[in-house]
């Protein structure tokens, strides 16, 4: 879907993006993660030509973006920013319908799409006639996401999309974002400095420092097989929580023997999807005072019950396996 080759950018004679190359498969999410000033936002903005590269190529769906007018490119790319950027004198519906209007969609089609997105993003339908200043921060962020999705673009760019939210609202919207089927079908490139957010949402992470990609790969690769000291130290402050977060219940199941259900009381058992991260599982067990977790898949066939001790034992075994490979 996206191929970036040797991108470079200078500001005031200083090289701030230095030979950055990557590709993003269709339907995947790449997170550009890194220190402040590492070049991640500049890299993102070069993809839709908000910033023009000094060297290198950006190819989207097989086409070089330099062969098209910047405005035409941006209408085919959803864009979400930290401070949302809603037009204050437009209603919610007018903000959402902005790009479809530029693309000359019929008025009824735009109206129907606005209603559809409000429902999809858990917003009340009557919100369409209100103005941005009348909304909460979380509602504004959802409207910003709705606007990015309005014309159903195949590619979405997100620049610190949840950075301005309070921690509770941020966590809620991150979880909604991760579970939204519509977004799972999109190709996305996201900039964040929030390491936990990157682990939660990324199919791949490109960790940047001083304008260069230090390592790119699945979150497990960066956590368990860092290629240099920078990558290793970057995650050290939160390493244990991040390792628990990146290991899913599904990974744990490969380490344990399937056995009949233990004889336990129903209230002692927490039922959770196999795609849930181990950190969320353990925290939910603590909150619900559960003794066992039952991993389920979409068919809900699992009969396996796992205690906290069994989960952690399997986690440490997996961790050693990842390190050895």
Tens digit of pLDDT for each residue in 158-204? 988 877 677 777 777 777 777 777 777 889 999 998 899 899 889 99
Which secondary structure element, helix H or strand E, spans residue 82, and what is its range? none
Q: CATH 3.90.1280 occupies which residues in the chain? A: 248-324
Task: Taking residues 108-115, report their average pLDDT.
Answer: 92
Predicted pLDDT at 220: 93
**Helix, strand and coil percent figures for the chain, each rounded to 5:** 45, 25, 30
- CA end-to-end span of the chain: 30
Predicted pLDDT at 299: 55
Q: How confident is the model at residue 303 (pLDDT cuts 50, 70, 90)?
A: low
Q: How confident is the model at residue 262 (pLDDT cuts 50, 70, 90)?
A: low
Predicted pLDDT at 1: 84
Percent of the chain with pLDDT over 70: 94
The architecture that CATH gives domain 2-245 is 3-Layer(aba) Sandwich (3.40)
pLDDT at 103 over 70: yes
Q: How confident is the model at residue 258 (pLDDT cuts 50, 70, 90)?
A: low
Rounded to 5°, the CA angle 220-154-151 comes to 135
Q: How confident is the model at residue 259 (pLDDT cuts 50, 70, 90)?
A: low
| Domain 248-324 part of CATH 1.20.120 | no
Percent of the chain with pLDDT over 90: 46
Q: CATH 3.40.50.300 occupies which residues in the chain? A: 2-245
pLDDT at 272 over 60: yes
Cβ 319 vs Cβ 224: under 8 Å: yes
Task: Taking residues 217-244, report their average pLDDT.
Answer: 94
pLDDT at 106 over 70: yes
For residue 86, the cross-strand partners are none
Q: pLDDT for 39-98, tens place per residue?
A: 999 999 999 899 999 999 999 988 899 888 888 888 888 888 766 678 889 999 999 998
Q: How confident is the model at residue 284 (pLDDT cuts 50, 70, 90)?
A: very high
Q: pLDDT for 8-51, tens place per residue?
A: 999 999 999 999 999 999 999 999 999 888 999 999 999 989 99
Q: How confident is the model at residue 278 (pLDDT cuts 50, 70, 90)?
A: very high
Report pTM: 0.85
Q: Any idea which residue has 């979380």 for tokens?
A: 138
Predicted pLDDT at 24: 95
Predicted pLDDT at 300: 53
Predicted pLDDT at 140: 86
Predicted pLDDT at 245: 93
Task: Taking residues 297-322, report their average pLDDT.
Answer: 80
Give residue 29's Cα distance to chain centre.
Answer: 6
C-alpha distance from residue 68 to each of 19, 21, 73, 76, 100 (Å): 23, 21, 7, 11, 19
Predicted pLDDT at 218: 94
Cβ 37 vs Cβ 15: under 8 Å: no
Question: Between 260 and 170, where is the model more confident?
Answer: 170
Q: How confident is the model at residue 148 (pLDDT cuts 50, 70, 90)?
A: confident
Computed over every residue of the chain, the mean pLDDT equals: 87
pLDDT at 325 over 90: no
């Amino acid at each position: 879907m996206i191929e970036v080759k040797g991108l470079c950018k200078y500001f005031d004679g200083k090289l701030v993006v230095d030979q950055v190359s990557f590709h993003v498969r269709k339907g995947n999410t790449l997170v550009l993660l890194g220190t402040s000033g590492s070049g991640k936002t500049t890299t993102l903005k070069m993809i839709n030509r908000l910033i023009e590269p000094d060297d290198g190529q950006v190819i989207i769906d097989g086409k070089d973006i330099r062969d098209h007018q910047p405005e035409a490119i941006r209408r085919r790319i959803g864009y979400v920013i930290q401070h949302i950027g809603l037009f204050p004198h437009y209603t919610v519906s007018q903000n959402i319908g902005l790009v479809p209007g530029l693309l000359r969609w019929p008025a009824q089609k735009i109206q129907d799409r606005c209603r559809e997105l409000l429902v999809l993003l858990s917003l009340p339908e009557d919100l369409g006639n209100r103005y941005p200043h009348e909304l909460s921060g979380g509602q504004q962020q959802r409207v910003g996401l709705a606007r990015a999705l309005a014309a159903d673009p195949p590619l979405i760019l997100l620049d610190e999309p949840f950075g301005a939210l309070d921690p509770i609202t941020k966590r809620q919207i991150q979880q909604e974002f991760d579970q939204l089927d519509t977004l799972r079908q999109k190709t996305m490139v996201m900039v964040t400095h929030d390491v936990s957010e990157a682990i939660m949402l990324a199919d791949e992470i490109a960790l940047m420092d001083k304008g260069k990609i230090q390592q790119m790969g699945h979150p497990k690769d960066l956590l368990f097989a860092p290629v240099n000291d920078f990558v290793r130290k970057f995650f050290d402050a939160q390493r244990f929580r991040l390792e628990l977060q990146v290991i899913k219940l599904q990974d744990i199941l490969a380490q344990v023997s399937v056995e009949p259900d233990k004889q336990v009381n129903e209230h002692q058992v927490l039922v959770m999807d196999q795609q849930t991260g181990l950190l969320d599982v353990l925290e939910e067990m603590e909150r619900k005072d559960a003794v066992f977790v039952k991993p389920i898949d979409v068919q809900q066939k699992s009969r396996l019950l796992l205690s906290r001790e069994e989960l952690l034992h399997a986690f440490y075994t997996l961790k050693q396996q990842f390190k050895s490979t």
